[in-house]
Amino acid sequence: MVTLRVHLDAVPGGNAPLLIAPGSHRLGRIAEADVPAVVARCGTAVCCAEPGDIWLYATPILHASEPSVHPGHRRVLQVDFAADELPGGLAWLGV
């Protein structure tokens, strides 16, 4: 499963950029209680963006963002792709 993300606005450091734990997508399903330990092991990368930047990443990567210090637009177009059925009883919500 992969995610394609097209940034419509700039996302500088003060506007709550995406934070990821590099390599966490290789660990399989991570229990919520284990997230702090996984983040400590993998570290954190800050993903700033400019308008028009396109990211393609493994959807299951641990990710979050901090509250915005300098609020502004952070509009993105995000599309998730999966070649197989979703695992563990998960289902697409549908639009």
pTM comes to 0.79
pLDDT at 95 over 70: no
Nearest-CA neighbor of 63 among 76, 81, 45? Answer: 45
Residue 21 tokens, joined = 């734990």
Q: What is the pLDDT of residues 61-86, one digit of tens each?
A: 999 988 888 878 889 999 988 888 87
Q: What is the pLDDT of residues 8-52, one digit of tens each?
A: 999 998 888 999 999 999 998 899 999 999 999 999 999 999 999
Question: Are the beta carbons of 57 and 2 closer than 8 angstroms?
Answer: yes
